[in-house]
Structure 1
């Protein structure tokens, strides 16, 4: 299974159970939303999770493009991506977590062919405010999957305040041979599907009060599920990343830097396709930072590498995949213009950083001044210091 049959199988399963499809939305939230990018499938549904009636009803399903920068330092391993597609299902005050878990198990086992012997689950074990998730524990016990109790890892929240609740995560074994250990002891157990009981509101003082409408929110990464179903060693062997791996292979990068470049360029293309342009603040700065990380990686051992050499095929493949109304030429112009700007900044920044470093090791005040006065962000300054040895 590749992306489209996986998505169809997921959506059709829930449609047969009364869920209405919600269209995939842009990475850019509507005006007034304080979040820079859509980070999960539930993000566009926040008003309805808080109780507003949804025009499509109380059972929803979709496949939503998402962007997260919280795991940037993890990108380059076998499972983390900055841009990904999330398969999501929702109960807006309708069925409970037990039903959601049973359907999740059924879909993985019968719809996707994942053997029960390859599954392991984690459940919230309780803390000083909320007890163990007895409903999830009882449900998994009746199904017969092994359970690992955890703490904060199985508590979902959308920030320090707001909707939250215990979650249960389904892991699949991705190693050779029979499964061993637990998700907490062996990283070859990979999380694929999270089922959240969104039933509390956390206040500024840390108190929890019940939501007026308890919900169930689930999310499963499409790229990770494809990795499991096709027996790949990493998400970079999947349908959406293979064109990028092939497209940038001519630069001769080692595996981890190559993965980072593929991930960040693919993400940048979708961000540009959704209307964002490089800038010094907000969404534009996220895009600028991604491209600068790409360029810093490319130039680390060969400053002649250039985004002008990026072939059009992976760019076109990604734009087609997400149905974005921009041309390959327009995207490549945005990327190469940012490269020209960055090269100029490096030329101006090298002597500035060198003079500052000659006085001694850089302090936090130095970093702030280099950023505020000269426009040199900390990661760029560190790259210049590394470059100078």
Structure 2
């Protein structure tokens, strides 16, 4: 792909998403990192989380001190799923499935080398405009004797200065304060807990013995985007107002919580994670990640299938494209739709995509047209997606067939409740869930779409009936076991 140059200027080559991934891994290899295989989307032997949600997650034991068999310098591109972002999908930057570029130093290099390495990748390899890059660093925690991270700020300042970019600093400390005052054009913003990493939040919430440390985050600025004041009066790095998009985060794990406060870890580690899709969007100067090379072909196919245009149905088409891509990768890694844990999330993704696509005019069995598009996009780097296309199609087609049998019935029942003029209760939603297989989130979303009102205590009512059903099921299972024994 090429960005049209201004008259008399050199042509600027713009890499697509696959090329950016390959260039990153090549750079890491050249810097003596071992590129490791991706971890499966369902963590093995980790009951604390449903999905692999970051590149760091599979490597946590090594960041906590275990020796990695591949050495002290590692890198990868890790597919991730964050089910907590489902409600955010539809905006220009959130996806439930994404790839995270990662590199790690396990007791080897530290702040200076890491920040310079990431800067080189962004400005020399991907060719992002240095004047559009903004950063945040840790403001310190005097109560726990943790100093402000002026070291990282000084490293950033030197890099900006060398690129001819001003590097003013501002203390914002909290997102709320930033919303009230803005960053006033400052290149480097200091925040508190927002720029601290641990498994349990900021320094105040860390259990004894846990490791943690400051981080520095990198943002790309889109001046063509108007700041959304619903996220605060003024724009700044940590604002969700739309002008700044986070594209990478380097954690410097160097402290351990003790009874006396914090002590230095015997081995300092670096954990870097960068959003591949967001870096690709920045490389084409688009605040919309759905316009990059691994998502736009899906969008185009959705337009073809539904007859709806992206310009007029942006939110809906983003939901379909994201959810289908995520469902395909979950199926590739062996997840099947169900009513519990990973299967429930996958079922929700598929059924939400079907419902939205149906509203746009998609015919039945449209998933069969989208799965091959995803497979073709990823067959180069993830050949297992293309190799398992038939099994993925079978899994998704079975779920679509099952859901379509219940979709019309469920929606008629939902609208019949609304015709009575009464508020929709948790009992009503439980009936839809239990009888028609309607995920609770889809019911609530549909209610909002058609302007129906939920009773104030609907959630408590729904959860109570769900708990009662589970208790009855457990009692029945125990009774059945006793009968079989006797």
> Is the contact made by 1:269 and 1:318 (CA closer than 8 Å) also made in structure 2?
no
1:189 aligns with one of 227, 244, 250: 244
SS of 1:120 mapped into structure 2: strand
1:293 aligns with one of 348, 352, 356: 352
> Would you say 1:283 and 2:297 are equivalent positions?
no
**C-alpha spacing 1:343/1:210, structure 2 compared with 1 (3 Å):** farther
2:194 paired residue number = 153
1:103 aligns with one of 94, 103, 117: 117
Which whole-Å CA distance do the structure 1 matches of 2:377 and 2:45 have between them?
A: 26
> Is the contact made by 1:38 and 1:44 (CA closer than 8 Å) also made in structure 2?
yes
**C-alpha spacing 1:211/1:281, structure 2 compared with 1 (3 Å):** farther
Alpha-carbon shift at residue 276 of structure 1 (Å): 0.9
> Would you say 1:136 and 2:152 are equivalent positions?
yes
1:166 paired residue number = 214
Which whole-Å CA distance do the structure 2 matches of 1:28 and 1:309 have between them?
A: 24
**Greater shift after overlay, 365-374 or 339-348?**
365-374
> Is the contact made by 2:254 and 2:265 (CA closer than 8 Å) also made in structure 1?
yes
2:88 paired residue number = 74
> Is the contact made by 1:120 and 1:182 (CA closer than 8 Å) also made in structure 2?
no
**C-alpha spacing 1:354/1:111, structure 2 compared with 1 (3 Å):** closer
> Is the contact made by 1:60 and 1:91 (CA closer than 8 Å) also made in structure 2?
yes
**Greater shift after overlay, 302-311 or 264-273?**
302-311
Alpha-carbon shift at residue 107 of structure 1 (Å): 2.4
Deviation digits for residues 50-71 of structure 1 (CA, Å, limit 9, x no counterpart): 1011111111111111111222
Which whole-Å CA distance do the structure 1 matches of 2:284 and 2:72 have between them?
A: 33
2:12 paired residue number = none
> Would you say 1:324 and 2:384 are equivalent positions?
yes
**Greater shift after overlay, 349-358 or 46-55?**
349-358
> Would you say 1:53 and 2:75 are equivalent positions?
no
**C-alpha spacing 1:164/1:119, structure 2 compared with 1 (3 Å):** same
Deviation digits for residues 164-188 of structure 1 (CA, Å, limit 9, x no counterpart): 32211111223349xx964246632
**C-alpha spacing 1:214/1:150, structure 2 compared with 1 (3 Å):** same
For structure 1, the 5+ residue unaligned runs are: none
SS of 2:280 mapped into structure 1: helix
Alpha-carbon shift at residue 77 of structure 1 (Å): 1.9
Question: What is the TM-score when the length of structure 1 is the normalising length?
Answer: 0.87
2:140 paired residue number = 126
Deviation digits for residues 215-268 of structure 1 (CA, Å, limit 9, x no counterpart): 110111111111122233422121211220121112134111111101110111
Which whole-Å CA distance do the structure 2 matches of 1:212 and 1:364 have between them?
A: 53
Q: Which has the higher contact order (CA 8 A, sep 6+)?
A: 1
Alpha-carbon shift at residue 379 of structure 1 (Å): 1.7
Query: Considering only aligned residues, what root-mean-square deviation do their CA atoms show, in Å?
Result: 3.1
Alpha-carbon shift at residue 354 of structure 1 (Å): 5.8
For structure 2, the 5+ residue unaligned runs are: 1-14, 161-166, 168-186, 226-233, 453-486
Deviation digits for residues 129-182 of structure 1 (CA, Å, limit 9, x no counterpart): 4442232123223333420112332223344565432211111223349xx964
**C-alpha spacing 1:363/1:175, structure 2 compared with 1 (3 Å):** same
1:255 paired residue number = 314
**Greater shift after overlay, 293-302 or 165-174?**
293-302
1:269 paired residue number = 328
The aligned length equals: 385
**C-alpha spacing 1:373/1:260, structure 2 compared with 1 (3 Å):** closer
Which whole-Å CA distance do the structure 1 matches of 2:325 and 2:265 have between them?
A: 38
**Greater shift after overlay, 211-220 or 341-350?**
341-350
Deviation digits for residues 173-218 of structure 1 (CA, Å, limit 9, x no counterpart): 23349xx964246632221111111234569x9x766545331101
1:342 aligns with one of 400, 403, 413: 403
Which whole-Å CA distance do the structure 1 matches of 2:64 and 2:438 have between them?
A: 41
